[in-house]
A and B are shown apart, each in its own frame.
Chain A
Amino acid sequence: MSTPMGFGRMHRKEDARFIRGRGGYVDDVQLPGMLYGAVLRSPHAHAWIRSVDTAAAEAHPKVRAVITGATLAGLNLDWMPTLSADTQAVLATDKVRFQGQEVAFVVAEDRYSARDALELIDVDYEPLDPVIDARTALDEGAPVIRDDQEGRTDNRIFDWEAGDRAAADAVFARAEVTVSQDMLYPRVHPAPLETCGAVADFDKVTGKLTVWCPTQAPHAHRTLYAMVAGLPEHKIRVISPDIGGGFGGKVGIYPGYVCAIVGSIVTGRPVKWMEDRSENLMSTAFARDYHMRGEVAATRDGRIQAIRVKVLADHGAFNGTAQPSKFPAGFFHVFTGSYDIQAAHCEVTGVYTNKAPGGVAYACSFRITEAVYLVERMIDVLAAELGADPAELRMKNLLRPEQFPYTTPTGWEYDSGDYQKTLQLAMDMAGYDALRREQAEKRARGEPMGIGISFFTEAVGAGPRKHMDILGLGMADGAELRVHPTGKAVLRVSCQTQGQGHETTFAQIVAAELGISPDDVEVVHGDTDQTPFGLGTYGSRSTPVSGAATAMVARKVRERARQVASAMLEASPQDLEWSVGESGGAWTVAGTGASRTIQEIALAAHSNLELPDGVEGHLDATCVYNPPNLTYPFGAYICVVDVDPGTGQVKVRRFVAVDDCGNRINPMIVEGQVHGGLADGVGMALMQLMAFDEEGNHLGASFMDYLLPTALECPSWELGETVTPSPHHPIGAKGVGESATVGSPAAVVNAVIDALAPYGVRHADMPLTPAAVWRAIQGDPIRTDLAIT
């Protein structure tokens, strides 16, 4: 594969270090004199803390500090703000509110001793009744979890609605057909293979704090540390090194990070803290946990007219979701999906429960995963009611190309789309009609086979700053580009790769704009001392926001090059034309052969060439990109499953995925992003689950119980593409990081339910484990969020 001058398939620049074991992740950071921290966690879901005795731990010969909630209270650091402007205990002082909550922090000479010392801390708990089932959180007399908040008498966090209730109700009142379905999108965890952790190094002499931490949003972390700890922001440097997967779970600030910082301040030495896998699953950001009721109104011939949704959202013990401030349910109100629907309304109620906080997370584009799952399941429920083919029903109701830009009943403006073409391509690739024939033959023999379709529209690239912020920080991102005298470039961006290949694709964007080789572009990211401010990488926003910033800053540099070229060529800037030929980018005097390459211009820009008044030397620029709108990637997925009715086992036989993410910078990387998201969909649909027993014990607190798909559960993915550029994005790209995770769970579940149709099954909740499938066939479905009894 040769290196293209701009867009196209090229091998990743970052691979060279990873295949040699030379990646640099946070646990690889070794500093002289470094100490190790470990967190003591609550075994109870809800309990008063009566006392914490640290004497024995402090007496351990290798222990250097033991920090408790009382220690932090003395520093006014025992509580910290969450990304949703709630508060969260750093180390509990009054009560523990979920199993796994942070209670104390030990700092010792080595990691083994730190762990040993945890056993020496004696905490006296007085257990309280927990709230585990979200459906009981608002019951009269339910234990009040957040009694730390003055005047609070219940567990309600918010009530929120979107759409037009009266218009939707009016359509329902006269509809020919209505269907209703309760469904749960259960609590899951992104479970990157690298857990969270931090190395904090506070230099007492300079007053500078350096924190190495695998964060998806290093600049937001720096600002929040400044706000929380009262440290001056210019004295804080956050370095996000190589990250072993994020998927949303590494957006927020966790108590362990704050403890590592305090540990370093207290001991005067660097402190490393790495959570173990159980800590990761029990305490860091979960995702979903949406209890939903969907209703659809339609005509008898299958024209969908209205959709209503009610959601009970389980937010855990602290409201720590990372939605833009105006949107407590994220972008869930994109639930009208890809369809032409007259009226829609949703109401969402958020509640506290005695479970871990979070909800930022897991490749969901701010709750769009839940919304897509809801609407795509409802389409299949409607198809079953009407006796219609689910593909035909979708085809009939999808938005048409001429409707774009399209404003949805809940206020979103979809930028561009050609939905029928995409669905048709997926059906052609799958051989849809032949599959339906095969299914009919197998059904006649009593062999359940299912075909599931999901069509999704994503809303990514948050976002326009007047509408979108997190804790008051607007969601615009910066880029800085510098071209050195020899024509080599350094790009600095605020987003942070966790495997998405930014070092490659962002170099390709610069390469395309400047007509230089991507090999000649170094991408710097993840270090707040070295990069411009921005909110980072989540919600599939890197290409839509930072990618746009990169293109814009490169165009600024190109314009500066035009001024320099005009001096070199002694021609008016207006007479110069930009072109990228085989030898690269160049400004040419129109109608002549007089031309200067970008490399020649770069050297001249740094030379003694006399420049006209008002033209600065050098070739560099900065840019802050404020997106005018979100971008709306979409796709059509078809999953084929076989079910063993005697055991309930599901085998995913095929999975066809056609994605339209606008223009593709590096198709190889785009396909890789899709592959990973599809595996996630299989995992969530079939096995990934965090359930809790009635005492609040976490039943998925290790990889023995929280199951992730292996190579043997995943089929060989069959990918296709259509390209509908975004009209407002500088390079027509839309973002793709989360598309497959958003779109795929519904396809798998729809396939399984389709297979079970002969047994009269219309719905069963994820994950569709063998037990869940078998019980669905028996007509006695399992409640998957609670312990199986």
Chain B
Amino acid sequence: MQVPASFEFERAESVGHALELLERYGPEARLVAGGHSLIPMMKLRLAQPDALIDINGLAELSHLAVAGDTLVIGALVRHAALLADPDVGRYFPIFHEAERVIADPVVRNRGTVGGSLCQADPSEDLSAAFAAVRADAVIAGPGGSRTVSIRDFHVGPYETVVEPGEILTELRVPIRPGAGSAYVKVERRVGDWPVAAAGAYLRLGPGGVIAEAGLGLTAVGAEHFTAPEAEAYLIGKEPGEAVLREAGRIAAESCEPQADQRGPVDYKRHLAGELTFRALSRAAARADGSQS
């Protein structure tokens, strides 16, 4: 079978220690947690880091809790833990619906939230889900921590704002009353990367009009995994079918999907609109309490 090239291995004892190790080994070192993106790339020898720094032992990054009006998710939280958490399901069904279709149950036992976001694969589901709910990412570096909006986190395919000497430590998601969210994905088979997927977050204000709208789009070439024009269009409107369809149309127009074996461009663009509509419909039903 395929095997990685040689590398040095260090086990980090704390975030501070991990930062030290990153500094010591320089830009050719990589952090490893679940390893389900990195190790296959290393086996294919598409990635050949000089050193791996294992952060699996850092309990300080494994927290998952509601703190006041914020859901805080440590970067080392496993997909399975996010999926199993009842608070996450209560406040953000979008995460449960996204997690349920990420890889498979065994991979979800190992893969981490932070690892998925830092891999920054354009087809990665959580990037869109966090974009839809406007999360903040907390990044630790030698000079201390900084907070970045998730919508500024991804700078391109497989590229984030996390610098070589830094570590993503946690995600912070604001909890607001009257909100609903959902995630809808089309895949060729269970466990496959999405052909396309859409996440939606809606908060309804007085009179049942949309006070806040968040959209996340996966695998369709949406800049920063989102669709701001469609979000802006929704504000102040009642979430009826025609409005949500129009938002889907606007979102689809803003995408730049690429053809691959999952589908041609016209189909993926169609899905961007259709799935945006479906996610918005379900998010709206959750926001007004007509669906759980």
B-binding residues in A (CB < 8 A): 111-112, 115-116, 119, 274, 276-278, 646-649, 686-687, 689, 691, 699-700, 704-705, 707, 709-710, 712-713, 769-771, 774-775, 778, 782, 787-789
Given A769-B188, A771-B267, A788-B261, list of 13 further CB < 8 A pairs? Answer: A111-B3, A115-B3, A119-B5, A277-B1, A646-B274, A647-B274, A700-B261, A704-B192, A710-B189, A770-B188, A770-B263, A782-B264, A789-B264
A788 touches B45 (CB 8 A): no
* Chain A residues near B45 (CB-CB < 8 A): 119
10 contacts between A and B (CB under 8 A): A112-B3, A646-B274, A700-B261, A710-B191, A713-B190, A771-B195, A771-B263, A771-B264, A774-B270, A788-B262
A687 touches B261 (CB 8 A): no
Given the interface pairs A115-B3, A710-B190, A769-B188, the reply to whether A691 lies near B261 with Cβ below 8 Å is yes
Q: Is residue B2 within 8 Å, beta carbon to beta carbon, of the partner chain? A: yes
- CA of A123 to CA of B263 in the docked complex: distance in angstroms? 35
Contacting A at CB under 8 A, from B181-206, are 186, 188-193, 195
- Which A-chain residue is minimally distant from B45 (CB atoms)? A119
A771 touches B5 (CB 8 A): no
Given the interface pairs A276-B2, A691-B261, A788-B259, the reply to whether A775 lies near B267 with Cβ below 8 Å is yes
Q: Is residue B271 within 8 Å, beta carbon to beta carbon, of the partner chain? A: yes
A787 touches B261 (CB 8 A): yes
Partner of B261, one of A111, A116, A276, A699: A699
Q: Is residue B260 within 8 Å, beta carbon to beta carbon, of the partner chain? A: yes
- CA of A528 to CA of B188 in the docked complex: distance in angstroms? 44
B271 touches A789 (CB 8 A): no
Residue with the greatest number of chain A CB neighbours at <10 A, chosen from B186, B260, B261: B261
* Chain A residues near B278 (CB-CB < 8 A): 646
Interface residues on B, range: 20 to 34
* Chain A residues near B193 (CB-CB < 8 A): 704
- CA of A24 to CA of B235 in the docked complex: distance in angstroms? 64
B267 touches A713 (CB 8 A): no
- Which A-chain residue is minimally distant from B189 (CB atoms)? A707
Q: Which 5 A-B pairs have the closest CB atoms?
A: A771-B263, A712-B190, A707-B189, A276-B1, A771-B267
* Chain B residues near A769 (CB-CB < 8 A): 188, 262-263
Given the interface pairs A771-B264, A775-B267, the reply to whether A709 lies near B2 with Cβ below 8 Å is no
Partner of A274, one of B1, B186, B188, B267: B1
Partner of A278, one of B2, B186, B191, B195: B2
A770 touches B261 (CB 8 A): no
Chain A nearest Cβ from B209, distance in angstroms: 27
- CA of A769 to CA of B190 in the docked complex: distance in angstroms? 12
- Which B-chain residue is minimally distant from A115 (CB atoms)? B3
Residue with the greatest number of chain B CB neighbours at <10 A, chosen from A648, A649, A771, A789: A771
Chain B nearest Cβ from A56, distance in angstroms: 15
The SS class assigned to the B binding surface is loop
Contacting A at CB under 8 A, from B22-80, are 45
- CA of A789 to CA of B104 in the docked complex: distance in angstroms? 29
* Chain A residues near B3 (CB-CB < 8 A): 111-112, 115
Chain B nearest Cβ from A561, distance in angstroms: 51
A115 touches B2 (CB 8 A): yes
* Chain B residues near A707 (CB-CB < 8 A): 188-189, 192
A775 touches B264 (CB 8 A): yes
* Chain B residues near A778 (CB-CB < 8 A): 266
Residue with the greatest number of chain B CB neighbours at <10 A, chosen from A705, A713, A770: A770
Chain A nearest Cβ from B251, distance in angstroms: 15
A788 touches B264 (CB 8 A): yes
- CA of A691 to CA of B189 in the docked complex: distance in angstroms? 17
A788 touches B186 (CB 8 A): no
- Which A-chain residue is minimally distant from B193 (CB atoms)? A704
A116 touches B190 (CB 8 A): no
* Chain B residues near A700 (CB-CB < 8 A): 261
B191 touches A788 (CB 8 A): no
A687 touches B189 (CB 8 A): yes
* Chain A residues near B1 (CB-CB < 8 A): 274, 276-277
- CA of A330 to CA of B9 in the docked complex: distance in angstroms? 54
- CA of A616 to CA of B242 in the docked complex: distance in angstroms? 92
Chain B nearest Cβ from A771, distance in angstroms: 3
Chain B nearest Cβ from A169, distance in angstroms: 40
- CA of A274 to CA of B2 in the docked complex: distance in angstroms? 10
* Chain A residues near B104 (CB-CB < 8 A): 710
Partner of A709, one of B189, B262, B267: B189
A649 touches B186 (CB 8 A): yes
A789 touches B259 (CB 8 A): yes
- CA of A129 to CA of B270 in the docked complex: distance in angstroms? 35
- CA of A771 to CA of B262 in the docked complex: distance in angstroms? 7
* Chain B residues near A704 (CB-CB < 8 A): 192-193
- Which A-chain residue is minimally distant from B196 (CB atoms)? A647
Contacting A at CB under 8 A, from B230-267, are 259-264, 266-267
Chain A nearest Cβ from B69, distance in angstroms: 36
Chain A nearest Cβ from B27, distance in angstroms: 22
Chain B nearest Cβ from A455, distance in angstroms: 28
Chain A nearest Cβ from B192, distance in angstroms: 6
A770 touches B186 (CB 8 A): yes
- Which A-chain residue is minimally distant from B264 (CB atoms)? A788
- Which B-chain residue is minimally distant from A275 (CB atoms)? B1
- CA of A687 to CA of B187 in the docked complex: distance in angstroms? 11
- Which B-chain residue is minimally distant from A649 (CB atoms)? B186
A648 touches B261 (CB 8 A): no
- CA of A704 to CA of B264 in the docked complex: distance in angstroms? 18
- Which A-chain residue is minimally distant from B1 (CB atoms)? A276
- Which A-chain residue is minimally distant from B185 (CB atoms)? A647
Chain B nearest Cβ from A43, distance in angstroms: 13
* Chain A residues near B2 (CB-CB < 8 A): 115, 276-278
- CA of A700 to CA of B188 in the docked complex: distance in angstroms? 13
B188 touches A687 (CB 8 A): yes
- Which B-chain residue is minimally distant from A707 (CB atoms)? B189
Chain A nearest Cβ from B193, distance in angstroms: 8
Contact with A along B198-231 (1 / 0, CB 8 A): 0000000000000000000000000000000000
* Chain B residues near A712 (CB-CB < 8 A): 190
Partner of A770, one of B191, B195, B260: B195
Chain A nearest Cβ from B191, distance in angstroms: 7
- CA of A789 to CA of B265 in the docked complex: distance in angstroms? 8
- Which B-chain residue is minimally distant from A771 (CB atoms)? B263
Chain B nearest Cβ from A367, distance in angstroms: 26
* Chain A residues near B270 (CB-CB < 8 A): 774
* Chain B residues near A686 (CB-CB < 8 A): 189
* Chain A residues near B262 (CB-CB < 8 A): 769, 771, 788
